[in-house]
Amino acid sequence: AALVSMNDTIAAIATPVGQGAVGIVRLSGAGAIAVADAVFSSKRGKPLSAARTFSLCYGWIVRDKEVFERAGRTPQAMPELIVDEVVVSLMRSPHSYTREDVVEINSHGGPRVLSVILELLLAKGARLAIPGEFTRRAFLNGRLDLAQAEAVLDIIQAKSELALKTSLTQLSGELSGRIKGLRRRMLDVLADIEARLDFSDEELGGVPDDALSVLRTTLQALRSLLEGSFCGRIVREGLKVVIYGRPNVGKSSLLNALLRTDRAIVTAIAGTTRDTIEECVSIRGLAVCFVDTAGILEAHDEIERLALERTRKAIDACDLLLFVFDGSAPLGREDEALLSQVNPLKKMIGVINKSDLPARVDASRLRGLFGVRPLVHVSALEREGIKQLEDEIFGAVFHDPGLLSADVLVSNVRHIEILKNSAASLERSIDSLQKGLSPEFGAADLRRAVDGLGELTGEVFREDVLDVIFSKFCIGK
Protein backbone atom coordinates (compact mmCIF):
# COMPACT_ATOMS: atom_id res chain seq x y z
CA ALA A 1 0.00 0.00 0.00
CA ALA A 2 1.18 3.47 -0.80
CA LEU A 3 2.03 5.39 2.33
CA VAL A 4 0.53 8.74 1.55
CA SER A 5 -0.65 11.33 3.94
CA MET A 6 -3.86 13.12 3.16
CA ASN A 7 -2.56 16.10 5.12
CA ASP A 8 0.24 16.94 2.74
CA THR A 9 -0.04 19.60 0.14
CA ILE A 10 0.62 17.89 -3.18
CA ALA A 11 1.91 19.27 -6.45
CA ALA A 12 2.30 17.93 -9.97
CA ILE A 13 2.45 18.95 -13.59
CA ALA A 14 -1.09 18.33 -14.81
CA THR A 15 -0.60 18.70 -18.54
CA PRO A 16 1.05 16.12 -20.83
CA VAL A 17 4.81 16.00 -21.14
CA GLY A 18 6.24 17.93 -24.05
CA GLN A 19 5.51 21.27 -25.62
CA GLY A 20 1.95 22.57 -25.33
CA ALA A 21 0.17 25.87 -25.77
CA VAL A 22 -0.25 26.05 -22.00
CA GLY A 23 1.11 23.99 -19.16
CA ILE A 24 -0.51 23.60 -15.79
CA VAL A 25 1.11 22.88 -12.45
CA ARG A 26 -1.51 21.88 -9.92
CA LEU A 27 -1.43 22.13 -6.14
CA SER A 28 -3.92 20.72 -3.67
CA GLY A 29 -4.11 20.68 0.10
CA ALA A 30 -4.43 22.88 3.13
CA GLY A 31 -1.12 24.57 2.33
CA ALA A 32 -1.73 25.02 -1.41
CA ILE A 33 -2.39 28.75 -1.25
CA ALA A 34 0.53 29.51 1.06
CA VAL A 35 2.94 27.42 -1.04
CA ALA A 36 1.83 29.13 -4.24
CA ASP A 37 2.02 32.52 -2.58
CA ALA A 38 5.67 31.87 -1.74
CA VAL A 39 6.65 31.77 -5.42
CA PHE A 40 3.98 33.92 -7.06
CA SER A 41 4.03 37.68 -7.27
CA SER A 42 0.85 39.20 -8.64
CA LYS A 43 0.90 42.21 -10.93
CA ARG A 44 -1.49 44.04 -8.62
CA GLY A 45 0.51 43.18 -5.54
CA LYS A 46 -2.30 41.26 -3.87
CA PRO A 47 -1.35 37.95 -2.20
CA LEU A 48 -3.28 34.81 -3.17
CA SER A 49 -4.29 34.40 0.45
CA ALA A 50 -6.44 37.50 0.04
CA ALA A 51 -8.13 36.17 -3.09
CA ARG A 52 -11.77 35.10 -3.20
CA THR A 53 -13.16 31.55 -3.44
CA PHE A 54 -12.74 31.44 -7.21
CA SER A 55 -10.08 33.76 -8.54
CA LEU A 56 -7.80 34.28 -11.47
CA CYS A 57 -4.63 36.23 -10.74
CA TYR A 58 -2.11 37.46 -13.25
CA GLY A 59 1.55 37.77 -12.35
CA TRP A 60 4.93 36.06 -12.31
CA ILE A 61 6.50 32.98 -10.84
CA VAL A 62 9.72 34.26 -9.31
CA ARG A 63 12.81 32.60 -7.92
CA ASP A 64 13.08 35.01 -4.99
CA LYS A 65 9.86 36.74 -4.17
CA GLU A 66 11.27 38.89 -1.41
CA VAL A 67 13.97 40.46 -3.56
CA PHE A 68 11.55 40.83 -6.45
CA GLU A 69 8.93 42.61 -4.39
CA ARG A 70 11.40 44.84 -2.62
CA ALA A 71 12.61 45.99 -6.00
CA GLY A 72 9.08 47.07 -6.83
CA ARG A 73 7.82 44.04 -8.83
CA THR A 74 9.32 45.26 -12.07
CA PRO A 75 10.10 42.26 -14.31
CA GLN A 76 12.10 44.43 -16.72
CA ALA A 77 14.49 45.38 -13.96
CA MET A 78 15.08 41.82 -12.74
CA PRO A 79 14.53 39.40 -15.63
CA GLU A 80 16.83 36.83 -14.02
CA LEU A 81 14.32 36.34 -11.18
CA ILE A 82 11.38 35.58 -13.47
CA VAL A 83 10.59 31.95 -14.25
CA ASP A 84 7.45 32.67 -16.25
CA GLU A 85 4.54 34.99 -16.69
CA VAL A 86 1.47 33.10 -15.46
CA VAL A 87 -2.22 33.12 -14.68
CA VAL A 88 -2.99 31.47 -11.38
CA SER A 89 -6.43 30.08 -10.70
CA LEU A 90 -7.49 29.49 -7.15
CA MET A 91 -10.39 27.40 -5.89
CA ARG A 92 -10.99 27.33 -2.20
CA SER A 93 -12.12 24.29 -0.29
CA PRO A 94 -14.67 22.75 -0.76
CA HIS A 95 -15.35 24.30 -4.18
CA SER A 96 -12.63 22.42 -6.05
CA TYR A 97 -11.95 19.10 -7.74
CA THR A 98 -10.38 17.61 -4.62
CA ARG A 99 -12.58 19.61 -2.23
CA GLU A 100 -9.30 20.96 -0.78
CA ASP A 101 -7.75 24.32 -1.59
CA VAL A 102 -6.53 24.00 -5.16
CA VAL A 103 -4.18 26.31 -7.03
CA GLU A 104 -3.41 25.86 -10.70
CA ILE A 105 -0.55 27.73 -12.27
CA ASN A 106 -1.10 28.21 -16.01
CA SER A 107 2.23 28.88 -17.63
CA HIS A 108 3.56 29.09 -21.17
CA GLY A 109 4.22 25.45 -20.86
CA GLY A 110 7.73 24.61 -21.98
CA PRO A 111 8.67 21.39 -20.17
CA ARG A 112 11.66 23.06 -18.56
CA VAL A 113 9.59 25.97 -17.27
CA LEU A 114 7.04 23.59 -15.79
CA SER A 115 9.64 21.55 -13.98
CA VAL A 116 11.30 24.68 -12.58
CA ILE A 117 7.92 25.84 -11.24
CA LEU A 118 7.30 22.41 -9.75
CA GLU A 119 10.72 22.37 -8.08
CA LEU A 120 10.10 25.79 -6.55
CA LEU A 121 6.80 24.59 -5.13
CA LEU A 122 8.42 21.46 -3.71
CA ALA A 123 11.12 23.63 -2.14
CA LYS A 124 8.39 25.66 -0.44
CA GLY A 125 6.88 22.61 1.24
CA ALA A 126 4.68 20.83 -1.29
CA ARG A 127 5.14 17.09 -1.90
CA LEU A 128 5.14 15.51 -5.35
CA ALA A 129 1.76 13.86 -5.93
CA ILE A 130 1.64 10.13 -6.61
CA PRO A 131 -0.30 8.93 -9.70
CA GLY A 132 -4.01 9.65 -9.43
CA GLU A 133 -3.67 11.33 -6.05
CA PHE A 134 -5.79 14.35 -6.96
CA THR A 135 -8.64 12.08 -8.04
CA ARG A 136 -8.05 9.82 -5.03
CA ARG A 137 -8.49 12.83 -2.76
CA ALA A 138 -11.59 13.84 -4.69
CA PHE A 139 -12.92 10.35 -3.91
CA LEU A 140 -11.85 10.29 -0.27
CA ASN A 141 -13.35 13.74 0.27
CA GLY A 142 -16.65 12.62 -1.21
CA ARG A 143 -16.45 14.76 -4.34
CA LEU A 144 -16.64 11.66 -6.60
CA ASP A 145 -17.54 8.09 -5.85
CA LEU A 146 -15.24 5.30 -6.96
CA ALA A 147 -17.07 4.48 -10.18
CA GLN A 148 -16.94 8.15 -11.12
CA ALA A 149 -13.23 8.33 -10.31
CA GLU A 150 -12.65 5.34 -12.57
CA ALA A 151 -14.64 7.10 -15.28
CA VAL A 152 -12.10 9.92 -15.16
CA LEU A 153 -9.44 7.41 -16.16
CA ASP A 154 -11.67 5.87 -18.83
CA ILE A 155 -12.28 9.29 -20.34
CA ILE A 156 -8.54 9.90 -20.60
CA GLN A 157 -8.04 6.50 -22.24
CA ALA A 158 -11.22 6.36 -24.34
CA LYS A 159 -10.49 4.68 -27.67
CA SER A 160 -13.65 5.70 -29.47
CA GLU A 161 -16.53 8.15 -29.37
CA LEU A 162 -18.85 5.53 -27.94
CA ALA A 163 -16.39 4.62 -25.21
CA LEU A 164 -16.08 8.29 -24.35
CA LYS A 165 -19.85 8.69 -24.22
CA THR A 166 -20.25 5.73 -21.85
CA SER A 167 -17.51 7.04 -19.58
CA LEU A 168 -19.05 10.49 -19.49
CA THR A 169 -22.35 8.94 -18.43
CA GLN A 170 -20.50 7.03 -15.73
CA LEU A 171 -18.79 10.23 -14.57
CA SER A 172 -22.18 11.91 -14.29
CA GLY A 173 -22.99 9.29 -11.67
CA GLU A 174 -25.71 7.34 -13.50
CA LEU A 175 -24.19 3.95 -12.72
CA SER A 176 -23.38 4.85 -9.12
CA GLY A 177 -26.86 6.20 -8.58
CA ARG A 178 -28.40 2.99 -9.84
CA ILE A 179 -26.10 0.80 -7.76
CA LYS A 180 -26.55 2.83 -4.61
CA GLY A 181 -30.32 2.57 -4.98
CA LEU A 182 -30.16 -1.22 -5.34
CA ARG A 183 -27.80 -1.52 -2.43
CA ARG A 184 -30.02 0.56 -0.17
CA ARG A 185 -33.00 -1.67 -0.91
CA MET A 186 -30.97 -4.75 -0.05
CA LEU A 187 -29.67 -3.10 3.11
CA ASP A 188 -33.22 -2.44 4.28
CA VAL A 189 -34.12 -6.10 3.84
CA LEU A 190 -30.89 -7.16 5.50
CA ALA A 191 -31.57 -4.95 8.51
CA ASP A 192 -35.02 -6.46 8.73
CA ILE A 193 -33.72 -10.03 8.61
CA GLU A 194 -30.92 -9.34 11.07
CA ALA A 195 -33.39 -7.79 13.49
CA ARG A 196 -35.37 -11.02 13.42
CA LEU A 197 -32.34 -13.21 14.05
CA ASP A 198 -32.56 -12.50 17.77
CA PHE A 199 -36.06 -13.89 17.99
CA SER A 200 -37.29 -17.39 17.49
CA ASP A 201 -39.31 -18.38 14.44
CA GLU A 202 -42.44 -18.90 16.53
CA GLU A 203 -42.32 -15.32 17.67
CA LEU A 204 -41.86 -13.77 14.23
CA GLY A 205 -42.64 -16.18 11.43
CA GLY A 206 -40.33 -16.46 8.40
CA VAL A 207 -38.91 -13.75 6.19
CA PRO A 208 -41.79 -11.66 4.88
CA ASP A 209 -42.86 -12.14 1.26
CA ASP A 210 -42.44 -8.51 0.32
CA ALA A 211 -38.80 -8.64 1.44
CA LEU A 212 -38.23 -11.60 -0.88
CA SER A 213 -39.89 -9.85 -3.76
CA VAL A 214 -37.67 -6.78 -3.23
CA LEU A 215 -34.64 -9.07 -3.44
CA ARG A 216 -35.97 -10.71 -6.61
CA THR A 217 -36.45 -7.38 -8.39
CA THR A 218 -32.99 -6.32 -7.28
CA LEU A 219 -31.49 -9.50 -8.72
CA GLN A 220 -33.30 -8.81 -11.98
CA ALA A 221 -31.83 -5.32 -12.08
CA LEU A 222 -28.30 -6.64 -11.49
CA ARG A 223 -28.78 -9.17 -14.27
CA SER A 224 -29.91 -6.60 -16.77
CA LEU A 225 -26.85 -4.49 -15.96
CA LEU A 226 -24.71 -7.57 -16.60
CA GLU A 227 -26.48 -8.25 -19.88
CA GLY A 228 -25.47 -4.83 -21.15
CA SER A 229 -21.91 -5.38 -20.00
CA PHE A 230 -21.06 -7.48 -23.07
CA CYS A 231 -21.70 -4.37 -25.17
CA GLY A 232 -20.03 -2.26 -22.52
CA ARG A 233 -16.82 -4.25 -22.77
CA ILE A 234 -16.80 -4.06 -26.55
CA VAL A 235 -17.49 -0.34 -26.48
CA ARG A 236 -14.56 0.05 -24.14
CA GLU A 237 -12.01 -2.28 -25.71
CA GLY A 238 -13.15 -2.24 -29.30
CA LEU A 239 -14.67 -5.08 -31.32
CA LYS A 240 -12.16 -7.74 -32.39
CA VAL A 241 -13.00 -9.06 -35.84
CA VAL A 242 -11.12 -11.80 -37.67
CA ILE A 243 -11.25 -12.00 -41.46
CA TYR A 244 -11.15 -15.64 -42.46
CA GLY A 245 -11.50 -17.78 -45.57
CA ARG A 246 -9.42 -19.81 -47.99
CA PRO A 247 -6.54 -18.17 -49.90
CA ASN A 248 -7.38 -15.75 -52.72
CA VAL A 249 -11.00 -15.09 -51.81
CA GLY A 250 -10.03 -11.45 -51.17
CA LYS A 251 -9.49 -11.22 -47.40
CA SER A 252 -6.64 -8.73 -47.60
CA SER A 253 -8.50 -6.74 -50.23
CA LEU A 254 -11.55 -6.66 -47.97
CA LEU A 255 -9.41 -5.48 -45.06
CA ASN A 256 -8.12 -2.66 -47.26
CA ALA A 257 -11.63 -1.73 -48.31
CA LEU A 258 -12.71 -1.64 -44.67
CA LEU A 259 -9.71 0.45 -43.72
CA ARG A 260 -9.93 2.58 -46.87
CA THR A 261 -6.15 2.49 -47.14
CA ASP A 262 -3.71 0.18 -48.82
CA ARG A 263 -1.86 -1.15 -45.83
CA ALA A 264 -2.09 -4.92 -46.10
CA ILE A 265 -0.15 -6.51 -48.91
CA VAL A 266 -2.44 -7.72 -51.70
CA THR A 267 -1.11 -10.04 -54.36
CA ALA A 268 -2.52 -12.61 -56.74
CA ILE A 269 -0.23 -15.32 -55.39
CA ALA A 270 -2.11 -17.63 -53.05
CA GLY A 271 -1.11 -17.51 -49.41
CA THR A 272 0.75 -14.20 -49.20
CA THR A 273 -0.85 -13.28 -45.91
CA ARG A 274 1.21 -15.51 -43.69
CA ASP A 275 1.09 -13.39 -40.60
CA THR A 276 -1.73 -11.65 -38.83
CA ILE A 277 -2.12 -7.88 -39.14
CA GLU A 278 -4.40 -5.93 -36.86
CA GLU A 279 -5.90 -2.61 -37.92
CA CYS A 280 -8.58 -0.55 -36.22
CA VAL A 281 -11.22 1.78 -37.60
CA SER A 282 -14.22 3.51 -36.16
CA ILE A 283 -17.59 2.24 -37.32
CA ARG A 284 -20.39 4.50 -36.14
CA GLY A 285 -18.27 5.54 -33.19
CA LEU A 286 -17.35 1.99 -32.23
CA ALA A 287 -13.67 0.98 -32.39
CA VAL A 288 -13.41 -2.11 -34.60
CA CYS A 289 -10.12 -3.96 -34.96
CA PHE A 290 -9.66 -6.29 -37.89
CA VAL A 291 -7.21 -9.15 -38.08
CA ASP A 292 -6.35 -10.52 -41.51
CA THR A 293 -5.44 -14.20 -41.37
CA ALA A 294 -3.89 -16.88 -43.47
CA GLY A 295 -6.82 -19.12 -44.31
CA ILE A 296 -4.83 -22.28 -44.69
CA LEU A 297 -6.05 -25.73 -43.77
CA GLU A 298 -2.77 -27.49 -43.14
CA ALA A 299 0.81 -26.44 -42.62
CA HIS A 300 3.60 -27.57 -44.95
CA ASP A 301 6.45 -25.88 -43.12
CA GLU A 302 7.34 -24.19 -39.88
CA ILE A 303 6.25 -20.73 -41.07
CA GLU A 304 2.85 -22.05 -42.09
CA ARG A 305 2.52 -23.97 -38.86
CA LEU A 306 3.07 -20.77 -36.87
CA ALA A 307 0.64 -18.88 -39.09
CA LEU A 308 -1.96 -21.56 -38.57
CA GLU A 309 -1.52 -21.39 -34.82
CA ARG A 310 -1.76 -17.61 -34.81
CA THR A 311 -4.93 -17.81 -36.86
CA ARG A 312 -6.51 -20.27 -34.44
CA LYS A 313 -5.64 -18.05 -31.50
CA ALA A 314 -7.02 -14.97 -33.25
CA ILE A 315 -10.26 -16.80 -34.02
CA ASP A 316 -10.59 -17.97 -30.42
CA ALA A 317 -10.07 -14.46 -29.09
CA CYS A 318 -12.25 -12.58 -31.55
CA ASP A 319 -15.77 -11.30 -30.99
CA LEU A 320 -16.82 -11.72 -34.60
CA LEU A 321 -15.70 -13.66 -37.63
CA LEU A 322 -16.00 -12.41 -41.21
CA PHE A 323 -15.97 -15.56 -43.32
CA VAL A 324 -15.06 -14.58 -46.87
CA PHE A 325 -16.02 -16.51 -50.01
CA ASP A 326 -15.10 -15.87 -53.62
CA GLY A 327 -18.48 -15.27 -55.29
CA SER A 328 -16.94 -15.68 -58.73
CA ALA A 329 -15.87 -19.28 -58.07
CA PRO A 330 -17.82 -22.39 -57.12
CA LEU A 331 -17.89 -23.24 -53.46
CA GLY A 332 -14.94 -25.56 -52.88
CA ARG A 333 -14.04 -28.37 -50.53
CA GLU A 334 -11.55 -25.99 -48.90
CA ASP A 335 -14.26 -23.40 -48.12
CA GLU A 336 -16.46 -26.00 -46.49
CA ALA A 337 -13.59 -27.60 -44.59
CA LEU A 338 -12.54 -24.25 -43.08
CA LEU A 339 -16.13 -23.41 -42.28
CA SER A 340 -16.70 -26.71 -40.52
CA GLN A 341 -13.80 -25.96 -38.18
CA VAL A 342 -15.42 -22.82 -36.82
CA ASN A 343 -16.99 -23.07 -33.39
CA PRO A 344 -20.74 -22.93 -34.07
CA LEU A 345 -21.18 -20.52 -31.15
CA LYS A 346 -18.94 -17.91 -32.76
CA LYS A 347 -20.65 -14.79 -34.03
CA MET A 348 -20.11 -14.85 -37.78
CA ILE A 349 -20.99 -12.93 -40.92
CA GLY A 350 -20.61 -14.51 -44.37
CA VAL A 351 -19.05 -12.20 -46.94
CA ILE A 352 -19.49 -13.15 -50.60
CA ASN A 353 -16.76 -11.17 -52.33
CA LYS A 354 -16.04 -10.24 -55.96
CA SER A 355 -19.62 -9.23 -56.74
CA ASP A 356 -18.21 -7.26 -59.67
CA LEU A 357 -17.54 -10.58 -61.45
CA PRO A 358 -20.18 -13.05 -62.75
CA ALA A 359 -21.57 -15.05 -59.81
CA ARG A 360 -20.63 -18.73 -59.78
CA VAL A 361 -20.93 -19.54 -56.10
CA ASP A 362 -23.85 -21.72 -54.95
CA ALA A 363 -25.72 -19.05 -53.00
CA SER A 364 -28.52 -21.30 -51.77
CA ARG A 365 -26.04 -23.83 -50.43
CA LEU A 366 -24.29 -20.98 -48.56
CA ARG A 367 -27.62 -19.76 -47.26
CA GLY A 368 -28.21 -23.25 -45.89
CA LEU A 369 -24.76 -23.40 -44.29
CA PHE A 370 -25.20 -19.97 -42.69
CA GLY A 371 -28.74 -20.40 -41.41
CA VAL A 372 -29.83 -17.27 -39.61
CA ARG A 373 -26.41 -15.70 -39.73
CA PRO A 374 -26.08 -12.78 -42.12
CA LEU A 375 -24.63 -13.07 -45.63
CA VAL A 376 -23.45 -9.92 -47.39
CA HIS A 377 -22.41 -9.44 -51.03
CA VAL A 378 -19.44 -7.12 -51.55
CA SER A 379 -16.79 -6.23 -54.03
CA ALA A 380 -13.62 -5.44 -52.16
CA LEU A 381 -12.07 -4.28 -55.41
CA GLU A 382 -14.86 -1.86 -56.34
CA ARG A 383 -15.60 -1.13 -52.67
CA GLU A 384 -19.24 -2.03 -53.11
CA GLY A 385 -21.42 -3.34 -50.30
CA ILE A 386 -18.89 -2.22 -47.69
CA LYS A 387 -21.37 0.12 -46.02
CA GLN A 388 -23.88 -2.71 -45.69
CA LEU A 389 -21.18 -4.97 -44.25
CA GLU A 390 -20.30 -2.29 -41.70
CA ASP A 391 -23.96 -2.13 -40.68
CA GLU A 392 -23.98 -5.89 -40.15
CA ILE A 393 -20.77 -5.70 -38.10
CA PHE A 394 -22.26 -3.01 -35.90
CA GLY A 395 -25.54 -4.92 -35.66
CA ALA A 396 -23.70 -8.06 -34.56
CA VAL A 397 -22.82 -6.29 -31.30
CA PHE A 398 -25.82 -4.04 -30.90
CA HIS A 399 -28.47 -6.42 -32.14
CA ASP A 400 -30.62 -4.82 -29.49
CA PRO A 401 -30.46 -1.08 -30.20
CA GLY A 402 -32.04 -0.48 -26.80
CA LEU A 403 -28.72 -1.47 -25.20
CA LEU A 404 -26.94 1.44 -26.85
CA SER A 405 -29.44 3.98 -25.63
CA ALA A 406 -29.51 2.36 -22.18
CA ASP A 407 -28.54 5.05 -19.73
CA VAL A 408 -26.05 2.79 -18.01
CA LEU A 409 -23.59 0.57 -19.85
CA VAL A 410 -21.24 -1.24 -17.48
CA SER A 411 -17.86 -1.58 -19.16
CA ASN A 412 -15.27 -1.67 -16.41
CA VAL A 413 -13.89 -5.15 -15.72
CA ARG A 414 -13.84 -4.53 -11.98
CA HIS A 415 -17.48 -3.50 -12.04
CA ILE A 416 -18.52 -6.51 -14.11
CA GLU A 417 -16.72 -8.81 -11.69
CA ILE A 418 -18.43 -7.21 -8.69
CA LEU A 419 -21.85 -7.34 -10.35
CA LYS A 420 -21.39 -11.04 -11.13
CA ASN A 421 -20.34 -11.88 -7.58
CA SER A 422 -23.08 -9.80 -6.00
CA ALA A 423 -25.72 -11.30 -8.25
CA ALA A 424 -24.51 -14.80 -7.34
CA SER A 425 -24.55 -14.03 -3.60
CA LEU A 426 -27.97 -12.46 -3.87
CA GLU A 427 -29.26 -15.48 -5.77
CA ARG A 428 -27.97 -17.81 -3.03
CA SER A 429 -29.55 -15.61 -0.40
CA ILE A 430 -32.96 -15.63 -2.10
CA ASP A 431 -32.67 -19.36 -2.57
CA SER A 432 -32.04 -20.15 1.08
CA LEU A 433 -34.62 -17.65 2.33
CA GLN A 434 -37.20 -19.18 0.00
CA LYS A 435 -36.42 -22.66 1.20
CA GLY A 436 -36.99 -21.48 4.74
CA LEU A 437 -33.45 -22.40 5.83
CA SER A 438 -32.15 -20.67 8.92
CA PRO A 439 -32.15 -16.93 8.07
CA GLU A 440 -28.51 -16.66 9.18
CA PHE A 441 -27.48 -18.17 5.83
CA GLY A 442 -29.63 -15.85 3.79
CA ALA A 443 -28.42 -12.89 5.79
CA ALA A 444 -24.74 -13.80 5.30
CA ASP A 445 -25.11 -14.05 1.52
CA LEU A 446 -27.14 -10.89 1.39
CA ARG A 447 -24.44 -9.12 3.38
CA ARG A 448 -21.87 -10.26 0.82
CA ALA A 449 -23.97 -8.88 -2.03
CA VAL A 450 -24.44 -5.58 -0.21
CA ASP A 451 -20.73 -5.24 0.52
CA GLY A 452 -19.85 -6.07 -3.07
CA LEU A 453 -22.01 -3.30 -4.45
CA GLY A 454 -20.57 -0.98 -1.84
CA GLU A 455 -17.12 -1.68 -3.27
CA LEU A 456 -18.28 -0.77 -6.74
CA THR A 457 -19.23 2.76 -5.75
CA GLY A 458 -16.64 2.99 -3.00
CA GLU A 459 -19.16 3.22 -0.15
CA VAL A 460 -17.05 0.38 1.20
CA PHE A 461 -13.40 0.36 0.18
CA ARG A 462 -10.00 -1.05 0.95
CA GLU A 463 -6.80 0.95 0.61
CA ASP A 464 -5.12 -1.72 -1.50
CA VAL A 465 -7.99 -1.65 -3.99
CA LEU A 466 -7.62 2.12 -4.22
CA ASP A 467 -3.88 1.70 -4.78
CA VAL A 468 -4.53 -0.58 -7.74
CA ILE A 469 -7.18 1.67 -9.25
CA PHE A 470 -5.31 4.93 -8.88
CA SER A 471 -1.91 3.58 -9.91
CA LYS A 472 -3.32 3.41 -13.44
CA PHE A 473 -3.69 7.18 -13.49
CA CYS A 474 -0.93 9.53 -14.46
CA ILE A 475 0.67 11.93 -12.03
CA GLY A 476 -1.26 15.17 -11.99
CA LYS A 477 -4.70 13.59 -12.39
Binding-site members for GTP are 248-253, 267-273, 292-295
Any idea what the Cα angle at residue 476 is, between residues 82 and 41, rounded to 5°? 25
Sign of the CA dihedral with 417 first, then 420, 424, and 429 last: positive
Q: Which of 251, 377, 415, 477 binds ligand GDP (CB under 6 A)?
A: 251
Is the N-terminal amide bond of 94 cis, ω within 30° of 0? Answer: yes
Closest residue by beta carbon to ligand GDP: 250
DSSP 3-state of 399: coil
CA gap 173, 184 in Å, rounded: 16
The residue ranges of DSSP E strands in 262-380, in sequence order, are: 277-283, 286-292, 320-326, 348-353, 375-377
Span 209-248, contacts to ligand GDP by CB under 6 A: 245, 247-248
Any idea what the Cα angle at residue 448 is, between residues 192 and 4, rounded to 5°? 120
Q: With contact defined as beta carbons under 8 Å apart, do 453 and 218 qualify? A: no
249 binds ligand GDP (CB under 6 A): yes
Q: Which of 152, 380, 397, 430 binds ligand GDP (CB under 6 A)?
A: 380
253 binds ligand GDP (CB under 6 A): yes
Annotated binding site for Mg(2+): 252, 273
Q: Which of 106, 252, 293, 379 binds Zn ion (CB under 5 A)?
A: 252
The residue ranges of DSSP E strands in 108-158, in sequence order, are: 127-128
Select 350 or 458, whichever has its Cβ closest to Zn ion: 350
Given Zn ion, ligand GDP, none, residue 412, with its beta carbon under 5 to 8 Å by kind, binds none
Q: Which of 251, 354, 415, 477 binds Zn ion (CB under 5 A)?
A: 251
Span 326-365, contacts to ligand GDP by CB under 6 A: 353-354, 356-357
Q: Could you report how far apart the first and last alpha carbons of the chain are, in Å?
A: 19
DSSP 3-state of 212: helix
Distance of closest approach, residue 104 Cβ to ligand GDP, in angstroms: 53
Given ligand GDP, Zn ion, none, residue 459, with its beta carbon under 5 to 8 Å by kind, binds none
Annotated binding site for K(+): 248, 267, 269, 272
273 binds ligand GDP (CB under 6 A): yes
The residue ranges of DSSP E strands in 166-297, in sequence order, are: 239-244, 277-283, 286-292
444 binds ligand GDP (CB under 6 A): no
Query: Measuring CA to CA, which residue among 271, 322, 326, 269 is closest to residue 297?
Result: 271
Q: Per CB under 5 A, which region of 30-38, 101-109, 267-275, 461-469 contacts Zn ion?
A: 267-275
Q: Which of 15, 148, 273, 432 binds Zn ion (CB under 5 A)?
A: 273
Give the footprint of ligand GDP on this chain (CB under 6 A). 245, 247-253, 266-268, 272-273, 353-354, 356-357, 379-381
Give the footprint of Zn ion on this chain (CB under 5 A). 251-252, 273
